[in-house]
Amino acid sequence: MIILTGGAGFIGSNFLKLLNQKGYNDVIIVDNLSNTSKWKNLVGKRFKYYINKTEFLKNLDKLNFSNTEAIFHFGACSSTSEQNIDYLFSNNLEYSKKLAKKAIDNNIPFIYASSAATYGNGDQGYSDNVYYDLRPLNAYGFSKHLFDLWVIEKGYDELFIGLKFFNVFGPNEYHKNEMASMVYKAFNQVKNSGRVKLFRSYNDDFEDGEQLRDFVYIDDAVNLTWQLFEKRIKGIFNIGTGTTNTWNSLAEHVFNTLQKPVNIEYVDMPEQIKNQYQYSTKADISKLFESGIKYDFLTFEQSIKKYINNYLNINQPYL
């Protein structure tokens, strides 16, 4: 049996699909569906049963983990603009600690989602060997950073698999609203208005739309997760491509895939995110490959075409 928290979410539901393809159907989904559309991400997937996160935590000490093969902990508040710090710490830090302790007590492999938001503005680089000097720019990144530090201080990085996801995009992200990827937003903007809106740059080193990101397609993200688990490789790893692309190139690929003329409008960045904005991210994936992982990523253009042609543009948005 596998426990998959956040199993109805973006990364979780894609990983559930991969588990099904690998023959794993005995999966317990832990999530909070409430009044969201996340339930659609579970349609067509195979799992044992679903349990609400609150009920799961309430009964955590009563659960029998004897037949649990692994715990994949992808459940979290992923909003980088969340202002309720107590909620973030409860959901992203304390929840993770409780589940991690259960994994330790029962000798169960524990695989959890961290984030590239832990790196802040990148002044300390993007190496997954650097921890204590990081300065996250938002409370979400800080909550993830604190759990990484707890894992390291306990020595659990030698037992767990931590995944610092960079800019992941692909099917089943639609419930995320403002936190959905720019690829998804750009597709809808082109369809609705024939143009894409991008933030102006407020950094003299970057022209408008030339801010850089390490974009990784969801298939690559979950396949890397599976490889690390299957090979029982322990540690905290960046899950990115090790390459960068600009927001302008993202928009251009979307326009080209839809066979539409490029039409980009640059708009003011909201005041509340100006001081939290990352102008360039690029995963250092040397540790990942040195661990024995071998992987060929889709190119950014290939990923966007796959997402749009296989899902968004044929009214088949769900995986």
Digit-coded pLDDT (tens) for 208-223: 999 999 999 999 999 9
User: Domain range spanning residue 206?
Assistant: 170-213+244-281+299-314
pLDDT value at position 311? 95
Residues 31 and 131 in one domain: yes
> Residue 247 and residue 183: Cα distance in Å, rounded?
9
pLDDT value at position 118? 96
pLDDT value at position 144? 95
> Residue 191 and residue 310: Cα distance in Å, rounded?
16
Torsion of CA 193, 172, 178, 224, to 10 degrees: -120
Closest CA to 199 of 120, 265, 281, 278: 265
Residues 58 and 35 in one domain: yes
Q: What is the pTM of this model?
A: 0.95
pLDDT value at position 315? 72
Active-site residue, selected from the candidate residues 97, 101, 176, 305: 176
> Residue 307 and residue 310: Cα distance in Å, rounded?
6
Residues 118 and 235 in one domain: yes
Please state the φ and ψ torsions of residue 276, each to the nearest 5 degrees: -115, 10
> Residue 179 and residue 188: Cα distance in Å, rounded?
14
pLDDT value at position 317? 60
Residue 214 exposed, middle or buried by CB count within 10 Å (0-12, 13-18, 19+) = buried
pLDDT value at position 318? 66
Active-site residue flag, 140: yes
> Residue 283 and residue 285: Cα distance in Å, rounded?
6
pLDDT value at position 68? 96
* Contact (CB, 8 A) for 30 and 97: no
Active-site residue, selected from the candidate residues 126, 140, 217, 311: 140
Number of domains in the chain: 2
> Residue 222 and residue 275: Cα distance in Å, rounded?
31
Residues 104 and 189 in one domain: no
Residues 139 and 108 in one domain: yes
pLDDT value at position 77? 78
pLDDT value at position 268? 95
Residues 236 and 119 in one domain: yes
Residues 203 and 222 in one domain: no
Residues 110 and 160 in one domain: yes
Q: What is the pLDDT tens value at each position of the chain, 319 positions in all? A: 999 999 999 999 999 999 999 999 999 999 999 888 899 999 999 999 999 999 999 999 998 999 999 999 999 877 776 778 888 888 899 999 999 999 999 999 999 999 999 999 899 999 999 999 999 988 899 999 999 999 999 999 999 999 999 999 999 999 888 889 999 999 999 999 999 999 999 999 999 999 999 999 999 999 999 999 999 999 999 999 999 999 999 999 999 999 999 999 999 999 888 888 889 999 999 999 999 999 999 999 999 999 999 999 987 666 7
Is 123 a domain residue? Answer: yes
Please state the φ and ψ torsions of residue 27, each to the nearest 5 degrees: -120, 130
Closest CA to 124 of 135, 108, 116, 109: 135
Active-site residue flag, 176: yes
One-letter amino acid at 303 equals S
> Residue 307 and residue 303: Cα distance in Å, rounded?
6
Question: For residue 37, what are its two tokens?
Answer: 């559309």
Residues 204 and 224 in one domain: no
